[in-house]
Amino acid sequence: MDLGLLLGFLGTWVLILWAMISGGDIGWFIDPPSVVLVVGGSATVLMMAFPLRHVTKIHKTILKAFFHKASSPEKLIEDLVSFAEIARRDGILSLEGAIKEIDDPFVVSGIQMAVDGTDPELIEQVMESELDSLIERHETSRGLMDTLGKYAPAFGMIGTLVGLVVMLQNMDDPSKIGPGMAIALLTTMYGAIIANAVAMPISDRLARRSAEEVLQKTIVIKGVMAIQSGDNPRVVEQKLKTYLPPTDRGATEEKEAA
């Protein structure tokens, strides 16, 4: 589980609830019809914007943001360099036994194609196509949260306008104006909370997750192509380290020297 995201999520909701409780009765902030309008309206808009099969999996998108096992690009580069050393020393066919211990299917697929003698251009084309498919899936997942963050406040405003119309129709009773205005504003609050305390932060975290995974798969593609072409392991290492920030490159070199 991503501890930072969990703490941020819980902290945000604790602050929101604290503000409600400190302002008076928390029951003032609960209005079922407003909840139904904002949540239900946001859900129906998602169904219009995306295929239903994607909308029904939105919970998986949210869980993916919280439960994600991040792998280290430095460790990935280290593994690819070790494969390059094996291929350089014992021949590329010797990697067939080594890939049995690899957990990443993407790495296994690339190395296996190289071992099988697949044309280099075809290897790169297949792996790039898989990467493009991954990016498309990530964009769809993030798009769900972006759309939710965009339309939830809009439905909050719609609910407010509906509430104001109802309130203005009952101006003959001044005692109902205050409570009516409060209920009308609740939908705006619900929409803002859904957008800014749930949808948009998760969307931003998914974007970061996607960038990390795309970087790792790009490193794998370049590493496999270098191994297939028979590059010197030191050359492979230098090629792949260009994808790391300068500070991380230095840390990796210090670790190797130690």
Q: Identify the CA nearest to 219 among candidates 109, 114, 121, 77.
A: 77
User: Can you read off the two tokens belonging to residue 156?
Assistant: 């909050």
| Domain co-membership, 20 together with 61 | no
Q: Which domain holds residue 190?
A: 31-258
Which residues, 6 or more positions from 31, have their beta carbon under 8 angstroms from its beta carbon? Answer: 183, 186, 187
Tell me how far apart the alpha carbons of residues 213 and 142 are, in angstroms, rounded to a whole number.
Answer: 14
pTM (two decimals): 0.82
| Domain co-membership, 243 together with 199 | yes
| Domain co-membership, 16 together with 133 | no
Residues of the chain above pLDDT 70, percent: 94
Domain count within the chain:
2
On average, the pLDDT of the chain sits at 87
Express each pLDDT in 105-145 by its tens digit. 999 999 999 999 899 999 999 999 999 999 999 999 999 99
Alpha-helix runs per DSSP H in the chain: 3-22, 32-49, 52-55, 58-66, 73-90, 95-98, 105-115, 120-168, 177-194, 200-228, 233-241, 246-257
| Domain co-membership, 112 together with 159 | yes
Across 198-224, average pLDDT:
92
Across 30-46, average pLDDT:
91
